[in-house]
Amino acid sequence: MGTHDSLGMRLRSRIRGRERWEVKALRGRPGTAQDLERLLSQRQGVLHVKANPTSAGVLVTYSTDTPDFDVEALIREGFKQLPPPVASRPSGAKSGSAISGILKSFLPRDQALTPPVLSTVGHSVHLLQGLSFVSIVNTARGSGPGFLRSLGIVSTGAQLLVMTGWSLLLTGVDLYLQYHRKEAWRRLGQATQHDLRDQLITRIEKQDVEFFDRYGTGPLIDLVTKDTAQVGEFVERSGDVIIEKALTIAVAGFFIITSAPSLGLIIFLPLPIIFLSSRFFGGKITERYARRGETTKQFNQMLENNLAGIADVKSFTAEWEEARRLSECDAALAQHTLGAERAASLQTNFISGLFSTTFVLTAGYAGFITAGGGISLSNFLRLVYWFPQLLRSLTGIEQVTGLYHRADDSAGRLARVLESYPQIQSGPVRLSAEEVRGEVIFEDVSFGYDPSVKVLENVSFHLRPGETVGIVGPTGSGKSTLLRLLLRFFDVDSGRISLDGNDIRDLDLHNLRSAVSMVSQDVYLFQGTIRENVIFGQRRATEEQILEAMRDAGALDLITSVPGGLDAEVGERGRRLSGGQRQRVAIARALLKLTSGASILALDEATSHLDNETESAFKRSLRKAATGKNVIIIAHRLSTIRSVDRILVLESGRITEAGTHDELLAHEGLYASLWRLQNEDPFGDQLEIRLKR
Q: pLDDT, tens digit, for every residue of 114-151?
A: 999 999 998 888 888 877 877 777 777 667 676 777 77
Do the Cβ atoms of 501 and 476 come closer than 8 Å?
no
**Minimum mean pLDDT range among 2-11, 161-170, 317-326, 569-578:** 2-11
pLDDT of 278 reads 64
pLDDT at 600 over 80: yes
Question: Distance (Å, rounded) from C-alpha 388 to C-alpha 370?
Answer: 19
The DSSP element (H or E) to which 382 belongs, if any, is helix 377-395
Three-class SS of residue 464? Answer: coil
**Minimum mean pLDDT range among 448-462, 477-491, 550-564, 603-617:** 603-617
pLDDT of 282 reads 65
pLDDT of 94 reads 44
Mean pLDDT for the stretch of residues 425-431: 84
pLDDT-derived band of residue 447, with 50, 70 and 90 as boundaries?
A: very high
Question: Distance (Å, rounded) from C-alpha 61 to C-alpha 39?
Answer: 14
CA distances from 440 to 329, 467, 469 (A): 48, 10, 11
Which residue intervals of 107-155 are DSSP H helices? 114-140, 146-150
Tens digits of residue pLDDT in 285-296? 777 777 777 787
pLDDT at 686 over 50: no
Question: Distance (Å, rounded) from C-alpha 603 to C-alpha 586?
Answer: 10
Q: Residue 152 CB: number of other CB atoms within 10 A?
A: 7
pLDDT of 499 reads 93
* Comparison of pLDDT for 274 and 572, the residue scoring more: 572
Tens digits of residue pLDDT in 466-486? 899 999 988 888 889 999 999
pLDDT of 671 reads 87
pLDDT of 674 reads 84
Tens digits of residue pLDDT in 625-673? 777 788 999 988 888 888 889 999 998 889 999 999 989 998 888 888 8
Do the Cβ atoms of 399 and 241 come closer than 8 Å?
yes
pLDDT at 249 over 50: yes
Mean pLDDT for the stretch of residues 388-393: 74
Please write down the HEC assignment for all residues of 291-351. HHHHHHHHHHHHHHHHHHCHHHHHHCCCHHHHHHHHHHHHHHHHHHHHHHHHHHHHHHHHH
pLDDT of 326 reads 82
Beta-strand relationship, 494-499 and 440-447: antiparallel
Distance of CA 140 to the CA centre of its chain: 61
pLDDT at 606 over 50: yes
Question: Distance (Å, rounded) from C-alpha 177 to C-alpha 645?
Answer: 78
CB proximity list for 42: less than 8 A, separation 6 or greater: 426, 430, 508
Mean pLDDT for the stretch of residues 103-109: 86
CA distances from 138 to 121, 135, 255, 378, 435 (A): 26, 5, 15, 7, 90
pLDDT of 92 reads 39
Three-class SS of residue 655? Answer: strand
Beta-strand relationship, 440-447 and 600-604: unpaired
pLDDT at 182 over 70: yes
Nearest to 527 by CA among 570, 576, 575, 586: 570
- Tell me what the pLDDT averaged over the chain comes to: 80
Question: Distance (Å, rounded) from C-alpha 443 to C-alpha 338?
Answer: 57
Do the Cβ atoms of 497 and 445 come closer than 8 Å?
yes
Question: Distance (Å, rounded) from C-alpha 686 to C-alpha 677?
Answer: 6
Question: Distance (Å, rounded) from C-alpha 355 to C-alpha 391?
Answer: 7
Do the Cβ atoms of 423 and 469 come closer than 8 Å?
no
Question: Distance (Å, rounded) from C-alpha 614 to C-alpha 13?
Answer: 65
Q: Residue 92 CB: number of other CB atoms within 10 A?
A: 5
Do the Cβ atoms of 517 and 602 come closer than 8 Å?
yes
Question: Distance (Å, rounded) from C-alpha 155 to C-alpha 143?
Answer: 11
pLDDT at 537 over 90: no
Beta-strand relationship, 57-62 and 46-52: antiparallel
* Comparison of pLDDT for 315 and 574, the residue scoring more: 574
pLDDT of 275 reads 65
pLDDT of 1 reads 39
Tens digits of residue pLDDT in 183-213? 999 999 999 999 898 888 888 888 888 888 8
